[in-house]
Amino acid sequence: MRGALPPGRRRSSLTKSVQWQIEYDASLVQLGKSSLDNYNDTDDIIKASQKDLSNYYDKICHCMEELGLVFAIEATIICIDAVSSSNSIDCRDFVMVIVAQCKSFLEEVLQKLAERLPEGIITQVHT
């Protein structure tokens, strides 16, 4: 069955991150209502950010389910790098806060995944 985890493997780390993703979405909505930004494209920026994060998360989950923990960690690092490089595109305070929140979410996912590694496999996961 495609998408099923092998016996003994659990989604616990990724499932717990879903709650953080919900909190991330809520914080974006609140940020959009705040006085940080008065631009006409605020809603578009928030929707794009939510879509990007969802795509990153789907890729990480796919790697975890289909390829394994090490590939999920590498995918997460790639996603963090992609978010970090988006810093230079739009330097408005509002966008910078969104980028920081997205990066924080992905770093938390990375930490949760790295905690599942057996000792000695990878001595240090870089961010």
For residue range 59-106, list pLDDT tens digits in order: 999 999 999 999 999 999 999 999 888 755 556 677 788 888 889 889
Residue at 121 is within a domain: no
Asked if 69 and 116 count as a contact pair (C-beta separation under 8 A), the reply is yes
Q: Is the pLDDT of residue 16 over 90?
A: no
Residue at 4 is within a domain: no
- Please give the pLDDT value at position 3: 42
- At a CB cut-off of 8 Å and minimum separation 6, what does 75 contact? 59, 60, 62, 63
- Please give the pLDDT value at position 118: 81
- Please give the pLDDT value at position 46: 80
Total-model pTM:
0.68
- 119 vs 65: which has the higher pLDDT: 65
Residue at 122 is within a domain: no
Residue at 127 is within a domain: no
Residue at 125 is within a domain: no
Asked if 112 and 16 count as a contact pair (C-beta separation under 8 A), the reply is yes
Asked if 73 and 114 count as a contact pair (C-beta separation under 8 A), the reply is yes
- 108 vs 38: which has the higher pLDDT: 108
Residue at 28 is within a domain: yes
Cα separation, 127 vs 17, in Å, equals 18
Residue at 63 is within a domain: yes
Number of structural domains in the chain = 1
- Please give the pLDDT value at position 90: 59
Q: The domain containing residue 102 runs over which residues?
A: 12-33+41-115
Cα separation, 80 vs 113, in Å, equals 14
Residue at 78 is within a domain: yes
